[in-house]
Structure 1
Amino acid sequence: MLSIAVAATASAVIAVPAAGLFGYRRLRRTAHAKRLRITSPYGVEESGFARIGGIDQWISIRGEDHRNPVILELHGGPGATNLIFASRTRAWERHFTIVRWDMRGAGKTFGHSGADGQGDMSLRRLEHDALEVTQHIRARLGVDKVVLLACSFGSFVGLRLARNHPELYGAYVGTDQNINAGGRDHAAYRALLDRLDAAGKRKELAAVTAMGPDKSAWSVEDWSQYNKHTVGSDPLTFDTVKTVVVGSLLSSPLHSLRELPAYTKAMTFSQRVAPESATIDEWAEGTTFAIPFFIFQGEHDVITPPEPVRRFFNDVTAPVKDFTLIQDASHFASFRHPDQFLDLMLTKVRPLLTSQPITR
């Protein structure tokens, strides 16, 4: 849940009135646009708005072969669309059809109708939207099931879909996986205090200490400050936000310069959903899944630490399950190392979905 920290970093970079920045953006966008072209005879490349949950929501569908397994990606934030990472994950589209959906309160969906046009902003509403998007994809692509790829905040929604609607999904894959335990686990909070103390950041330490470990009692401002301090206190996370996230945003050929401020405003707007997640108890909601269950987590993730995720994973019952750490990665692990992530998808997930051989 890095919306505010990412938005602040992106806004700072976007605001720099440097001709060199815009020159870099133009060159990178041109190169990425060329890379994103799909010319294969069985390819699919379409995007636009669909009526989901009573509002127009943006859906992108891309892949080299429409006969490949279909992935529905649930982005994080809240409000942080993954569409900006299309160039980094271009190789994924050789083996999967990738569906990227800008949830209400995110990306092009937010930019289309603004803050007043987003309607109900709640986890339950996002879950219902996701079900509608799933049905839309099944009809559009003519498939019975899709793979859920749930990222960060999107994993709260993803776990509920995987538990309650196994008839719609061929597998669950969580990355930057969130596991809440009804407020009982304060490991990430205590680790942040330790990092701030070790760095001698007394002011920040005092501010986070004053919040207390009970996230359900935090205000939206508390969440914002916590996320900023978490990103700033960990060099690997900060570098990933700066180079991978903001770098992808600035060089995305799928976003105009005019759309960039809306991208960051959407993340700030959607932060209102974050407090609702603090009361979730994933163990109480259920550890039994009727579909294959995978977690591919950043080894050094300080936002969603691997330890609570592994504890939940150990209690999961599923037809097939696997937990793998992605090395040299914190949060945004799949986008920092998209090739490593693809290898995991090809060796562990795809063989369960199709009998087609893998051709790299």
Structure 2
Amino acid sequence: MTPIPVFDGHNDTLLRIWQRRDADGGAKAFLEGGVGGHIDLPKARAGAMMGGLFAIFVPSRQLGVDYMKMMREASYDVPCPEPPPVSEAMAATLGMAATLFRIERASAGAVGVCRSVAEIRAAKDRGALACVLHIEGAEAIGPDLDALHALHAAGLRSLGPVWSRPNVFGHGAPFRFPASPDTGPGLTEAGKALVRECDALRIAVDLSHLNEAGFWDVAKTSRAPLIATHSNVHAITPHARNLTDAQLDAIAERDGLVGLNLATCFLREDGRMRSDTDLDAVAHHLDRLIARLGEDRVGFGSDFDGAIVPAGIGDVAGMPRLLAFLSERGYDQAILEKIAWRNWLSALERVWGG
């Protein structure tokens, strides 16, 4: 059977490649593979990955804790680090964007940076990996929003105002389990202005790291479909980063989309970050997402290269195993294609326009 293409709503591969500080910007490491990580071009081809949102995430200077280790405990509340200063965040953001452009240039057409759904479809048709620039945490953008316009011109098409740490635009949902996503104030006035400008530029606003108040502030401020690129179901896994049924219903009403996160701490009922997580946990969340959102508003948002995923998937090359598992559970070809890629392209088209 021909593998089903996969469009991934979220990965942290650019950060991993950029941090290598290779002389060629990481192009060889990505294009030839063999250097670890969840996504490179050979793994993407093995997993039938057609493309995705490639995140730019600027790490804090010092986390101060091993948050992956903390999230293996029965309960946890990971301290939020301070955000990096704007100048530092901009330098890192440009570095990661340049990493993707260098990969594209060195790929001889095998990788394409896409700015529209038409370009994603064209890349798919010619067998190229379609990469969309996404920002996770807008620390590189000042309240004047000048950088937003420059980054949009460079290809930015999706943006999360915050990561889990607070910044000038709002407050994120912490890595806390068990916990409600209602953890404090939401968007600042600068954050609301950022959302309005994203609407004007047709940049998708990602809800995944916002706390509950911030989620509702976006819902009130934006007129676009509501998108959570990598989030799961709070009713199953009561993590502060997961979405309540009320939030899921709002996304359905606004004809948006949720990308199912493969990070095990958001999948497991005990909230732990452990690779020995059954694929049943993925199916459990997927079943619930489809029940609340319908089969046209759910996709994948793997969190590859930013989290521990079930060993049964391993990396992007394991996505056909996940789809085969879901097929055995009764998901037919049409629904699997929607979840794997069609729904993402439809949702982006609703945000970006034709």
TM-score tier after normalising by the smaller chain length: 0.3 to 0.5
Select the structure of larger CA radius of gyration. Answer: 1
> Normalized against structure 2, the TM-score is what?
0.34
Give the number of the structure whose residues are more often helix, by fraction.
Answer: 1
Higher relative contact order (CA 8 A, sep 6+): 1
